[in-house]
Amino acid sequence: MTGTEQTSSGQTSAEDYEALRASVEEFARKEVAPVIGDLYIREEFPYDIVAKMGAMGLFGLPVGEEYGGMGGDYLALCLALEELARVDSSVAITVEAGVSLGAMPIFRFGTDEQKARWLPDIAAGRALGAFGLTEPGGGSDAGATRTTARLDGGEWVINGSKCFITNSGTDITSVVTVTAVTGEKPGGGKEISAILVPAGTPGFTVSEKYSKVGWNCSDTRELFFDDVRVPEENLLGERGRGYAQFLSILDEGRIAIAALSVGLAQGCVDESLRYAGEREAFGHTIGSYQAIQFKIADMEVRAHTARLAWRHAAQLMLDGKPFKHEAAIAKLVASNAAMDNARDATQIFGGYGFMNEYPVGRFYRDAKILEVGEGTSEVQKMLIARHLGL
């Protein structure tokens, strides 16, 4: 697969977006679908799939070509995420977190030296980056950071812990960006900065992987920092701007999670259509009954509407216009669609929907976290209400 090409006006052409989408759709159908069910049951990280996605350039889609990326944009990334999630969300979130949380903070805020050191391997899928923000006592209140970092002899000394961190403990994880309190603001309050911590640094340990309800092929861990020392130049961006930097990254990430959610919602439609045409009850395929037809129609409407929402937010972002409000709407609408469609698909499948061997069972388990990660539904409503002046 080649990278997306830009027209003379600087915009990627519709034909190239479609070519990318189609290539990822084919990859998900041929390479992911046949193997992901067994990996999911065994809770194994899909290293072979990650390597193949890296060779396709998916981890470097919005990263500049000078750092080994594809030189594309966020819309291209989101198109890929939607197609991956139509088949499996663990694979999709591995790419989403690897790009949005692993690569993009470095690409957006890193020095030339930091970009040259970390981005080529991440963009090629040879390595994964992670972002350590959430803490056990923090949750949605990311500003309540307790992890600390102090300067000592030209080094940052980091102490604290993080939880629910994706891609942080794989065999190919290379670096984790960590938010830490580095002082006090002149007017009071915590000065929070972002610092790059290479995997394997003494004092930096990762827990065993969590036992999760869903996303079973995704790597998620708790991180511990005990007098971890890294060079002063590992500061990412401006000192004291770590929290603000993360918020801007989170706005972009909400569009990506919305696209992933739409993929899961559409996957539920795909599987339900197939099953409704095969399963017979009372002498007819269940798809001939209006109750099933209406349920699938509602599912399609949800997926279609949510897709319009994330694409609108993505287009505003590409046009350089404010998109925070639209990103929150997209994330809220799409995660709701994913959860509702997963529930309806499981109902259509009946008892078989409760079996791990069928994709809809996996979709049902994976859907709930979409209403929590990258900002809960309640946080999205808070942002929307704030935009309206409430």
Nearest partner of 84 among 47, 38, 51, 53, judged by Cα: 53
Residues of the chain above pLDDT 70, percent: 96
92 vs 95: CA distance, rounded Å? 5
Buried/exposed 201-237: b ≥16 CB within 10 Å, e otherwise: beebebeebbeeebbbbbbbbbbbbeebbbeeebbbb
- Of 176-180, 187-191, 259-263, 302-306, the poorest mean pLDDT is in 187-191
Return all residues near 128 (Cβ < 8 A) that are at least 6 apart: 50, 94, 98, 102, 122, 167, 170, 172, 173, 174
Write the DSSP string, 41-80. Answer: HHT---HHHHHHHHHHTGGGTTS-GGGTS----HHHHHHH
For the chain, the structural domain boundaries read 14-127, 130-240, 244-387
DSSP state at residue 12: B
pLDDT confidence of residue 186 = 84
Residue 134 near residue 157, CB atoms below 8 Å: no
pLDDT confidence of residue 201 = 98
Return all residues near 291 (Cβ < 8 A) that are at least 6 apart: none
155 vs 235: CA distance, rounded Å? 10
pLDDT band at 7 (very low <50, low <70, confident <90, very high): very low
Average per-residue pLDDT for the chain: 94
Verdict on whether the full-model pTM lies above 0.75 = yes
> Which of the four CATH numbers 2.40.110.10, 3.30.300.30, 3.40.50.800, 1.20.120.640 does domain 130-240 have?
2.40.110.10
The total number of residues shown for the chain amounts to 390
Give me the amino acid identity at 379.
V
Catalytic pick among 96, 271, 371, 374: 374
> Which of the four CATH numbers 1.10.540.10, 1.10.3720.10, 3.40.50.300, 2.160.20.10 does domain 14-127 have?
1.10.540.10
Superfamily of domain 244-387: Butyryl-CoA Dehydrogenase, subunit A, domain 3 (1.20.140.10)
pLDDT confidence of residue 11 = 64
Residue 374 near residue 257, CB atoms below 8 Å: yes
Q: In the annotation, is 83 catalytic?
A: no
What Rg value do the Cα atoms of the chain yield, rounded? 21
pLDDT in tens, 108-132: 999 999 999 999 999 999 999 999 9
pLDDT in tens, 66-116: 999 999 999 999 999 999 999 999 999 999 999 999 999 999 999 999 999
Nearest partner of 206 among 166, 235, 236, 242, judged by Cα: 166
pLDDT band at 9 (very low <50, low <70, confident <90, very high): very low
Q: Is the pLDDT of residue 1 over 50?
A: no
